[in-house]
Amino acid sequence: MRDEEMKALNAFQDNAGEEKIDVSHKLKIGIIGTGWIAGDHMTSYLHMPDAEVVAGADLIPGKAEAFFERFGMKGVRTYPDHKSMLEAEELDAVSICTYNAAHAQCAIDALNKGVNVLLEKPMCVTLEEAVAIRKAEKASGKVLSIGFQPRFDANMKKIKEICESGVLGKIYYIQTGGGRRRGIPTPFGTSFIEKETGGIGALGDIGCYSLDMVLNAIGYPKPLTVTGYRSDFFGKNPKTYPFHPEYAEKFGVDDFAAAFIRLEGGIILDFRIAWAMNLDTPGDTIIMGTEGSLRIPSTECWNGTVGGPMTLYHEVAGSQVETVIPVIEDNGPSLFDRKIRTFMDACKNGTKAPVPTDQILYNQAILDGIAKSAELGREIEITIPE
């Protein structure tokens, strides 16, 4: 084990409190899709003494082999697609690290084979896919967790603690979102920006994080209606890609999305997200309540934490005051290690997924509702089949 890995593992075990890892029970893991994010999964599995990555699959010939070689891993079996891997291997769990449009099929096939699934975010592209995944999950009785690692950040947890403490009173209005001035993700090609692979753009890629931050904090109320908007002015402009102007032709998703969503419990959610814009931020996240409101400085929706100290606006003995909540320095294991560890623990103990689909189904319903409402140019009702 490399020094760096040893350090990360020690940090993890130091923070694991009383929970000791049972190394006599190892999980056999397969990785589906060996692109960019699969590298983070692999690094974290290497930090887990009870994980054994035994197989990997990628549609691109030679990619899975090169991936495992990069990690100095010998004897990992590789396959040309997820189906052949699932057929040939007896796996305990898979990490699904494919582009969004392949999430649903890979997850359903793995669950149908009785394999636990850690599925990268966003859950999928459409609500119909999300419902089909959930059906397969229920029928399988296996663990399915969605890859929202910001959930494990101490500052994100603090937002939830603040909301649950009652200090805000009744929450009635939330504004959330974020994004980048220029940040359409094309570092390794066009899988994020083509309709056939990405399916949805900024909306799904980073919008799902903003939504999860606030919805998880308030207990994931059901979405009822949505008015959505999407645009692609930057994505479709060849000037956006100085080295690859041809990407503009391939751009088939959104680079900006906005929406007005009504949630159960009389809560309004005002949302905007950008991969590119002529602005620093489309606004901080604010959670407004009858007793207090919380401002969470916006981020580029990238590093999994808050953009700075949060401020609570409230009243003390008739005076209007502000309380600053400093950023918590979270020096524990990486968020990816926590995401992998909590998923593995749920698989081993048969407990609920750390990021469960009964919540993320609502996240996906909102993304899908925004896309559908934008296409229709009007408000729509969100109907989620049981």
Ligand X SMILES: NC(=O)c1ccc[n+]([C@@H]2O[C@H](COP(=O)([O-])OP(=O)(O)OC[C@H]3O[C@@H](n4cnc5c(N)ncnc54)[C@H](O)[C@@H]3O)[C@@H](O)[C@H]2O)c1
Binding site for ligand X (CB under 6 A): 32-38, 57-60, 63, 81-82, 97-100, 102, 106, 120-121, 147, 149, 188, 191, 205
Residue with smaller CB distance to ligand X, 48 or 55: 55
Residue with smaller CB distance to ligand X, 129 or 227: 129
Residue with smaller CB distance to ligand X, 58 or 284: 58
Place of tokens 């916006």: 298
Contact 148, 340 (CB under 8 A): no
Residue with smaller CB distance to ligand X, 94 or 226: 94
Query: Taken in order 385, 365, 126, 35, is the CA torsion positive or negative?
Result: negative
CB of 343 to ligand X, least distance (A): 12
In sequence order, the β-bridge partners of residue 287 are 174, 294
CB of 377 to ligand X, least distance (A): 27
Distance CA 152, CA 304 (A): 9
Residue with smaller CB distance to ligand X, 204 or 292: 204
Distance CA 132, CA 128 (A): 6
Distance CA 133, CA 16 (A): 31
CB of 339 to ligand X, least distance (A): 8
191: CB partners within 8 A, 6+ apart: 35, 99, 197, 198
CB of 165 to ligand X, least distance (A): 28
Residue nearest to ligand X (CB): 35
Distance CA 275, CA 257 (A): 9
CB of 98 to ligand X, least distance (A): 4
* Strand 144-146 relative to strand 116-119, pairing: parallel
Task: Using CB atoms within 10 Å of the CB of residue 62, give its burial: 0 to 12 exposed, 13 to 18 middle, 19+ buried.
Answer: exposed
Provide φ and ψ at 25, rounded to 5°.
-110, 100
Residue with smaller CB distance to ligand X, 64 or 269: 64
CB of 64 to ligand X, least distance (A): 8
Distance CA 298, CA 284 (A): 4
Token code pair at residue 194: 């083509």
CB of 264 to ligand X, least distance (A): 27
CB of 381 to ligand X, least distance (A): 27
In the chain, alpha helices (H): 3-15, 36-47, 63-70, 82-88, 103-112, 127-140, 154-165, 202-205, 207-217, 247-250, 335-349, 357-376
Residue with smaller CB distance to ligand X, 26 or 83: 83
Residue with smaller CB distance to ligand X, 39 or 221: 39
